[in-house]
């Protein structure tokens, strides 16, 4: 069941770039209507959260809190956030290593442009545009780049859950409010639940990798009802993902990836601590474990798909977490606003620089990223006995041997 569950999870992830393009060819008008409805829905959700966030705020007090902030600490927080993009690029290079050779500069460029797309148009756009930007400068199949972005996100989600859940085990929250204590108990149980789900998910992906031939054969048979072009794209992407998941069975690759991921989220936690301290909130009021608590809930808020880097949900979640820990309402809002800017502004500015410098267009990049993924890599031929020949994906004998050695 875990194996089938993992296959379904990965299969559903492919729809962002594979199904959207192909279905749009068949049903242009309905797809255009659905796209507009999704945009309207996303904007409406964002507006609702923004209203919820700003309701009863004293903007004069918020502005005074911002003016009193320690801008030296905020500058240090921005530096930490910029370093995270460097670490993300290093981790991405490690994930791409068995699939293609890439330059660090191209990876950093694609990463910051991708985060600009995330801020402007949402996470789905980032996952399409980041690999598209990389493929423009490097000889990397878009499907391979996209597959590693999915794996990259999986590591992020798992690490955030681990940070949040482990932190809750040691975080001592005391309040005279019985309702607050009860709510914290619910949050702690939720953290444990998420940790278990993450562990089961990683195990399922590991099983999918180790039994990929049988799993891919099963999915291939189940997708035969789809148009051949659609099923081809899905199976090609799944085959690439299965190879990328080889990092779970490679000691060196896993060590490098995990180290980069831990450093990345330690830097994000440092960003939260520095921004909170910049507003005069002492360690006695909110210790480091409290800042990690705020980070976990703000990241949970950022899951809500709204434009502007989850503008609204992120702010509400971060401010609510700070208020829950005893920070005054207006100060909590001030911290949330600046925290959001510190996290998203550096990448957005850098990304826009590259967009203008290279004459890029988000619309063009989205179009490139949504092309059927089976155009660049070998596809799975219909066969009950065998799902794919590894050489279809890796024509380079040395590359095939390296992949085989990783199991």
Q: Which one has a higher pLDDT value, 226 or 52?
A: 52
Could you identify the residue written with the tokens 């962002």? Answer: 16
Flag whether pLDDT at 139 surpasses 50.
yes
Instruction: Quote the mean pLDDT of the chain.
Output: 77
- With 60 as the cut, is the pLDDT of residue 105 above it? yes
| Burial grade of 281 (CB within 10 A; 0-12, 13-18, 19 or more) | buried
* Residue whose token pair is 């989205």: 366
pLDDT of residue 283: 87
Residue 364 pLDDT > 70 = no
Lowest mean pLDDT among 16-20, 124-128, 264-268, 308-312: 16-20
Task: Give the highest mean pLDDT range of 3-17, 40-54, 392-406.
Answer: 40-54
**CB burial of residue 286 (10 Å; 0-12, 13-18, 19+):** buried
Q: Give 261's pLDDT tier (boundaries 50, 70, 90).
A: very high
Handedness of CA 217, 218, 220, 225 (dihedral sign): positive
Mean pLDDT of 93-112: 87
Taking the C-alpha atoms of residue 141 and residue 232, their distance in angstroms, rounded to an integer, is 15
Which whole number is the average pLDDT over 121-130? 78
pLDDT at 132 over 80: yes
- Mean pLDDT computed over 95-123: 85
Rounded to whole angstroms, the Cα distance separating 291 from 184 reads 15
Predicted pLDDT at 266? 94
Does 249 have pLDDT greater than 50? yes
| Higher per-residue confidence, 17 vs 240 | 240
The whole-number average pLDDT for the span 378-392 is: 36
Q: Higher confidence at residue 76 or residue 145?
A: 76
Residue 302: predicted pLDDT: 81
pLDDT of residue 393 exceeding 50, the answer is no
pLDDT at 22 over 50: no
pLDDT in tens, 191-242: 888 888 888 888 887 887 778 788 888 888 878 787 777 777 777 777 777 7
Q: Residues of the chain with pLDDT > 70: what percent?
A: 79
Q: In this predicted structure, which of 116-120, 283-287, 375-379, 401-405 has the lowest mean pLDDT?
A: 375-379
Whether 29 shows a pLDDT value over 70: the answer reads: no
């Amino acid at each position: 069941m875990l194996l089938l569950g993992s296959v379904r999870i990965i299969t559903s992830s492919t729809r962002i770039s594979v199904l959207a393009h192909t279905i749009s060819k068949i049903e242009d008008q309905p797809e255009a209507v659905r796209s507009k409805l999704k945009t309207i829905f996303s904007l409406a959700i964002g507006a609702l959260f923004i209203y919820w966030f700003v309701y009863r705020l004293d903007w004069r007090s918020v502005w005074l809190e911002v003016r009193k902030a320690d801008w030296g600490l905020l500058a240090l927080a921005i530096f930490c956030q910029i370093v995270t993009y460097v670490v993300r690029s290093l981790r991405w290079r490690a994930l791409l290593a068995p699939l293609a050779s890439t330059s660090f500069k191209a990876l950093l460029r694609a990463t910051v442009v991708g985060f600009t797309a995330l801020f402007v148009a949402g996470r789905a756009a980032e996952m399409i545009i980041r690999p598209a930007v990389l493929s423009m400068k490097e000889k990397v199949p878009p499907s391979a780049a996209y597959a590693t972005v999915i794996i990259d996100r999986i590591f992020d989600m798992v690490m955030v859950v681990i940070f949040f859940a482990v932190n809750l085990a040691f975080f001592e929250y005391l309040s005279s409010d019985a309702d607050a204590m009860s709510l914290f108990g619910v949050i702690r149980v939720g953290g444990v639940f998420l940790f278990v789900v993450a562990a089961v998910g990683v195990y399922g992906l590991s099983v999918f990798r180790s039994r990929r031939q049988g799993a891919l054969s099963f999915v291939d048979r189940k997708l035969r009802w789809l148009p051949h072009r659609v099923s081809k794209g899905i199976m090609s992407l799944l085959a690439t993902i299965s190879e990328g998941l080889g990092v779970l069975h490679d000691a060196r690759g896993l060590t490098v990836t995990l180290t980069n991921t831990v450093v990345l989220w330690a830097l994000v936690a440092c960003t939260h601590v520095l921004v909170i301290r910049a507003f005069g909130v002492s360690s006695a009021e909110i210790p480091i474990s409290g800042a990690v608590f705020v980070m976990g809930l703000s990241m949970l808020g950022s899951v809500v798909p709204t434009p502007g880097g989850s503008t609204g949900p992120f702010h509400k979640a971060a401010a609510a977490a700070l208020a829950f820990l005893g920070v005054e309402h207006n100060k909590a809002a001030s911290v949330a606003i600046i925290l959001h800017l510190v996290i998203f502004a550096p990448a957005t500015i850098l990304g826009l620089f590259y967009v203008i410098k290279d004459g890029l267009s988000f619309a063009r990049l989205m179009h490139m990223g949504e092309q059927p993924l089976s155009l660049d890599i070998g596809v799975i031929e219909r066969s009950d006995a065998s799902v794919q020949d590894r050489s279809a994906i890796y024509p380079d004998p040395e590359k095939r041997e390296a992949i085989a050695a990783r199991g």
